[in-house]
Amino acid sequence: MNNKSTVSSSHLLMIPSYNTGALLQVTVAEALQQWLPVWVIIDGSDDGSELLLEPLQAQYPDALRVLKLSQNIGKGAAILEGITQAQAKGFTHVLTMDADHQHDVDFINPFMQMSNDNLTAMILGEPLFDDSAPMIRVQGRRISNWWVNLETWGWGIHDSLFGMRIYPIQDLMAVMHSTNWARRFDFEPEVAVRMAWRRVPVLNIATPVRYIATEEGGVSQFKYGRDNVLLVGMHIRLFLGFLLRLPKLILRKGC
């Protein structure tokens, strides 16, 4: 075990994964060098990527847990399964990060430190894109972020889609049990909006993100047609919810 890793009994690092191949092992190995414990949620993967974690499990028997779901249920649903078990183990906060090596593990400790200093807040990564980012994705998230800013009446969410973020587990559980949505690609923006409606404070950390090309082993589960339809439907629902809450949101902003 790396004695430089920060060990916590309250803040858990959780990595959901679906068919991320060899990048899963790289991501988890680097994360373990920064923080313990780490839980990996295998969301019905059929590429055998979880087998690559067996040497790490032997190296970190008490700090790395691999939870394998029998079928693919979606990112949000997989995280809900993970935080349900994490809360039962006494964890109060969870840092989620993607399994495809896009997120910078050097920012794990800054995220956790900010959370420890602001226990009631959700800590959201604000992506710093390099030239590897597809422009269509960058433009698309700008549109989504504009809608989220409206739906929360300017609560301070700088980016609604970035997967590296910390949630207070109790608030996240309450939000997830308040809706049957937020189970798939709509998870991050939907829960960010609903947590803002619950008056959960927001703090943002500028965080580098890299897109790994397919020829370099990069993987993406984002389907432009399917997932954009999902996001459009989500924003219609959230906008209607925003209209119902608008008087309270206006009063809250004025306080």
Quick one: how far is CA 61 from the chain centroid? 25
Peptide bond into 37 cis (omega under 30): yes
Coil, strand, or helix at residue 12?
strand
pTM of the full predicted structure?
0.94
What is 6-254's CATH number? 3.90.550.10
Domain ranges of the chain: 6-254
How do the pLDDT tens digits run along the chain, 255 residues long? 555 899 999 999 999 999 999 999 999 999 999 999 999 999 999 999 999 999 999 999 999 999 999 999 999 999 999 999 999 999 999 999 999 999 999 999 999 999 999 999 999 999 999 888 888 878 889 999 999 999 999 999 999 999 999 999 999 999 999 999 999 989 999 999 999 999 999 999 999 999 887 766 667 666 667 777 889 999 999 999 999 999 999 998 765
Q: For residue 119, what pLDDT is reported?
A: 99
H/E run at residue 81? helix 75-88
d(CA 182, CA 193): 11
Q: What distances in angstroms separate CA 76 from CA 10, 121, 129, 214, one per listed residue?
A: 21, 20, 24, 25
